[in-house]
């Protein structure tokens, strides 16, 4: 029996009809979310980013260790340096690291080593994964299920940004260790993802793509009727 304090769950139950309607509304809202590569330089309030990060920080994590750190970058000079470093790695990827099959898979999306959105968008959010946590005395504690936990937090963050009315892009140049240096993060933290966010440019376009049907992505085992 644990001595850790517990409190009643603040659960708000909905009727079956309310549940179905809420699920349908959420699906329709998330269907509108698209990855954007053309951003406006229109400013976005820091308060909006802070609220989105708080939502991300509410994600579940292994043993509640919360193995993430978010660095929000709105400084133009620092965004420029991040773009330069990212494009260096992207050139290596497109010219040397990527397989022919990988490049063919990317071709319909029109991506290349040029990443102007890293400067154009008002905010870049670097997400770091923490394998270990240190207390105020410097004692090290192991974090658990770190990749799963940080992945869930990123999903929360993307959803929060979309719900707030912003566009976003997930960017993962490899390797990303340059982010540790530019953003003054310790070596014990691993760059996990770079999320670009802001308003889409007026001329922004997205590729015409489809998503797999429920029958392709899910399997149900139910009691016989």
Residues 126-138 pLDDT 10s: 999 999 998 889 8
For residue 84, the Cα-to-chain-centroid distance in whole angstroms is 21
What's the whole-model pTM score? 0.94
The overall average pLDDT reported for the chain is: 94
| Averaged pLDDT, 83-89 | 95
Residue in this structure with the two tokens 């997930």, named with its chain if needed:
170
pLDDT tens-digit series, residues 111-122: 888 999 999 999
94's CB contacts (< 8 A; 6+ apart) are 103, 112, 113
Percent of all residues in the chain with a pLDDT value above 90, rounded to a whole number? 83
Q: What is the pLDDT, as a whole number, of residue 105?
A: 87
Kindly tell me if the per-residue pLDDT of 1 is higher than 70: no
Backbone angles phi, psi at 6, to 5 degrees: -125, 160
- Reported as a single tens digit per residue, the pLDDT across 172-181 is 988 999 999 9
Residues constituting the chain: 225
Is there a contact between 162 and 30 (Cβ–Cβ < 8 Å)? yes
Domains of the chain, CATH where assigned: 48-201 (3.40.109.10)
pLDDT of residue 108: 81
Residues 7-48 have pLDDT tens digits of 999 999 999 999 999 999 999 999 999 999 999 999 999 999
| pLDDT computed for residue 14 by the predictor | 97
Mind giving me the DSSP string for 34-69?
A: -B---B------HHHHHHHHHHHHTS--BTT---EE
Inform me whether the pLDDT recorded for 160 exceeds 90: yes
The percent helix, strand, coil of the chain (3-state, each to 5) is 40, 20, 40
Pick from 166, 176, 175, 170: nearest CA to 196: 170
């Amino acid at each position: 029996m644990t001595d850790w304090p517990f409190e009643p769950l603040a659960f708000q139950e909905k009727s079956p009809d309310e549940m179905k309607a809420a699920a349908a509304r959420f699906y329709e809202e998330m269907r509108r979310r698209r990855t954007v590569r053309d951003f406006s330089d229109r400013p976005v309030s820091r308060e909006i980013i802070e609220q989105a990060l708080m939502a991300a920080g509410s994600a579940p994590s292994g043993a509640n260790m919360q193995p993430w750190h978010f660095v929000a970058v709105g400084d133009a000079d620092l965004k420029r340096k991040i773009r330069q470093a990212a494009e260096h790695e992207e050139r290596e990827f497109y010219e040397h690291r990527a397989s022919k099959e990988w490049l063919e898979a990317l071709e319909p999306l029109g991506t290349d080593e040029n990443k102007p959105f890293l400067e154009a968008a008002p905010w870049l959010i670097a997400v770091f994964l923490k394998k270990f946590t240190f207390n105020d005395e410097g004692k090290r504690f192991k974090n658990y299920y770190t990749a799963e936990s940080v992945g869930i937090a990123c999903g929360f963050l993307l959803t929060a940004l979309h719900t707030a009315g912003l566009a976003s892009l997930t960017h993962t140049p490899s390797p990303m260790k340059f982010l540790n240096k530019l953003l003054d993060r310790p070596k014990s933290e691993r760059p996990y993802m770079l999320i670009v966010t802001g308003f889409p440019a007026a001329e922004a376009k997205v590729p015409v793509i489809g998503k797999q049907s429920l029958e392709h992505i899910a399997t149900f085992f139910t009691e016989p009727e």
